Amino acid sequence: MFVTTIIRSKPIYLILHSLTRKPREEKPLLPETLIITLTCSLPDLAKAFVSLFVVVDPLGNIPIFLSLTESMSVEERHHTFRVALITGFILMIFFAAVGHYILLLFGISIESFMIAGGILLLIISLQLLLAGWRKEESLPAESVGVVPIACPLLVGPGAITTVIMYFQTSGILVSIIAVILVFALTWLILRFIDPVNRLLGKTGSLVVSRVMALFIAAIAIEFILTGVTRIFHHSFS
């Protein structure tokens, strides 16, 4: 009687369809979506990480970091480096997230910024190759962490330009993760700066600095060529 009532109240093909219907596939959860996105962006992430690390150049800056903190105790030096890393990280995240809108505010196209940023990076690389770093003047210990270590040594015009470029080409997620990885590695270098300095030596630090300068020059030329190519493409398309 009960089965007869169900059949009469509902067509038999609907009953069979409900019994044979496959369960609805659930959409991927946020962590799974994030993993898929990162997997697809691994080449861009690797390129952004290497470019930012080369421009920040913590290994090449080791002699400067040591000279700026040579009169400090070990605790004061570690505190200074913590202040520098926190300040530099905040600056990089700020420019990664807001740099694009600053360009829009001033009406600057990304192509023009890529060309200008590439020229700036090329000048920086040539200065490193030809002149090298000059010893900075003695500064108060309380300000060394912010200026000049955080800015402009860690986060200078080259780093700001690079992070804005990768925000445009690879997206905010790749840019922020690259910044996190670069500053995590920089923290390790600064945390063990004395052993690293002994390992590299003065000559080794100079060699690393010059090699980094070559990479910066290559990145600069790539930015310039990409910007010029895009301008010609927009002009003739």
Average model confidence (pLDDT) across the chain: 78
Residue 167 CA to residue 173 CA, distance in Å, equals 8
* pLDDT given for residue 136 in this prediction: 47
Model confidence, pTM: 0.67
Residue 38 confidence (pLDDT): 55
52 compared with 70, residue with greater pLDDT: 52
> What local confidence, expressed as pLDDT, does residue 52 receive?
93
pLDDT of residue 6: 45
When pLDDT is averaged across residues 107-130 and rounded to a whole number, the result is 81
Amino acid at 194: D
The highest-confidence range among 5-9, 21-25, 48-52, 72-76, by mean pLDDT, is 48-52
What are the sequence ranges of the domains in the chain?
42-236
Per-residue model confidence (pLDDT) at position 82? 93
d(CA 94, CA 6): 63
